[in-house]
Amino acid sequence: MPDEFAIDVHGMTKRFGDRTVVDQIDLRVRQGEIFGFLGPNGSGKTTFIRMLCGLLRPDAGNGTCLGRDVISESDAIKRQVGYMTQRFSFYEDLSIAENLDFVARLYSLKNRRQAVRDSIEQLGLTSRKDQLAGELSGGWKQRLALAACMIHQPKLLLLDEPTAGVDPKARRDFWQQIHQLAAKGLTVLITTHYMDEAERCHRLAYISKGILLAHGTVAEVVDQAHLSTWSVSGPNLLALSEKLHNLHGVQQTVAFGNMLHVSGNDAVALEAAIAPFRTQEYEWRPIVSGLEDVFIHLMDTSQDGSSS
């Protein structure tokens, strides 16, 4: 059913000069879903988000966002979307309440004062409502930004690396709020570099050089990579990594604490490559590839350039 999807776009493409920064992306995001959008810096994630909410016009492609045509009804889409940018973009010499009142005026909300009060209460900002935005920590600035995104009661949240630069507790609290909002029917598309955050999404996609390389649940994305991984522990793992790195069958060696993950997409070739090193000196065991193993693999094999 078409109404099942908050985002349903096909062939979305954006070029800047002779550079194609988003290349024929198809994406469907269900209503009430938290969808993770991942990829290296400069992979095209932000450009894609800006096309969805009407800030950039696609050069090709079509589809709908919240049931509205992404090309011809971008103004209507903007009114139903909350967009949280990477950088804090509010007035630092205004208080939390004053900043939210300003945003409410921009949306011409009829019950503006009540909307500000409700937003402050919903996101736990009551005790700090009179504090200047410039005096807030990263976590509290994040709450203010989220409150501003939500003040007009949007149906879709577009969050562009919203937890960059905040401490682990603030990140955990933020994700708890996002899941509470999604449980009430809000759809969320979120970009992140944190693998633990990616695993909190219902589904996710990986983009590199503007091309969608993988999408699905965490388990589906891992399965699609067809990546075999071994874990090894023992002495001087850095030297072992250097010996393994360029062998046929070994595509990546990545340190994880006191272990090394050794991966490749040809299980037979990988096992042959590590065979000479499976001595009593080291403890080897095959493991299920993790999301971080898969994303490092996708990043390496795509040889990402510097699109924006």
Tens digits of per-residue pLDDT, 128-152? 899 999 998 888 888 899 999 999 9
Provide the 3-class DSSP secondary structure of residue 188: strand
Q: What strands lie across the sheet with 187-191, from one edge to the other?
A: 81-84, 156-160, 187-191, 34-38, 203-208, 211-216
Instruction: Note the pLDDT tens digit of each residue in 73-91.
Output: 999 998 999 998 877 788 9
Residues in Cβ contact with 13 at an 8 Å cutoff, skipping those fewer than 6 apart: 20, 22, 23, 24, 25, 58, 59, 60, 61
CB 303 within 8 A of CB 208: no
Give the global pTM: 0.87
| Strand arrangement of the beta sheet that strand 60-65 belongs to | 19-30, 5-16, 60-65, 68-69
- Structural domains in the chain, CATH included, are 2-221 (3.40.50.300), 228-288 (3.30.70)
Task: Report yes or no: 270 and 278 within 8 Å, Cβ to Cβ.
Answer: no
Has residue 306 got a pLDDT over 70? no
- Predicted confidence (pLDDT) per residue in 290-301, tens digit: 999 998 888 887
